């Protein structure tokens, strides 16, 4: 059993910076996605920051990154810094999501401007 979401992600997808730990859990992606779905924002952000500290690196699949940011923004809808982080991730892996990224950036700017 994994003690954190980050540990679970590291076992399923690997880690560019650390060796994958040995464990006896079944590493089926759907078990990880289920845990991610119900994780709190702090756990999700810790995973993203530890496994992809420079945005362009890491072994997390793009769709896991996108889902992670979406789940965080649903839990914290009024945090401009998180909106910008999510937008940068979308731009990096676009162009399919460029319009969503632009909208996130606009919303972040509007929140900071007080509107």
pTM of the model: 0.91
pLDDT of residue 27: 77
| Statement to judge: residues 54 and 93 lie in one domain | no
Q: Given its phi and psi angles, is residue 58 left (phi above 0), alpha (psi -120 to 50 degrees) or beta?
A: left
**Do both 72 and 114 map to the same domain?**
no
Cβ–Cβ < 8 Å for 2, 23: yes
Would you state the structure tokens that stand for residue 14, as one six-digit string?
Answer: 């690997």
Closest by CA to 99, choosing from 90, 112, 108, is 90
* 27 close to 69: Cβ distance less than 8 angstroms: no
The set of residues, in sequence order, having a beta carbon less than 8 Å from that of 95 and lying 6+ positions away, is none
Based on the domain organization, do 67 and 82 belong to the same domain?
Answer: no
Provide the residue range defining the domain that includes 87.
Answer: 78-115
Residues 90 and 71 in one domain: no
Cβ contact 68:92 at 8 Å: no
Shared domain for 13 and 44, answered yes or no, is: yes
Q: Give me 7's structure tokens.
A: 């540990």
Say yes or no: 21 and 58 in one domain: yes
Residues 4 and 43 in one domain: yes
Q: Are 80 and 108 in contact (CB under 8 A)?
A: yes
Residue-wise pLDDT for 62-90, tens only, equals: 999 999 999 999 999 999 999 999 999 99
Average pLDDT over the chain reads 91
Two tokens at 6?
């980050």
């Amino acid at each position: 059993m994994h003690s954190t979401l980050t540990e679970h992600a590291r076992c399923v997808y690997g880690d560019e910076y650390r060796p994958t730990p040995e464990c006896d859990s079944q590493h089926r992606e759907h078990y990880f996605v289920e845990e991610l779905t119900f994780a709190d924002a702090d756990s999700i952000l810790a995973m993203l920051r530890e496994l992809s500290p420079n945005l362009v690196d890491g072994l997390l699949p793009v769709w896991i990154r996108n889902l992670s940011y979406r789940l965080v923004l649903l839990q914290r809808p009024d945090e401009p810094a998180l909106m910008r982080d999510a937008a940068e991730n979308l731009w990096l892996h676009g162009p399919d999501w460029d319009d969503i990224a632009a909208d996130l950036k606009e919303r972040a700017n509007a929140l900071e401007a007080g509107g």
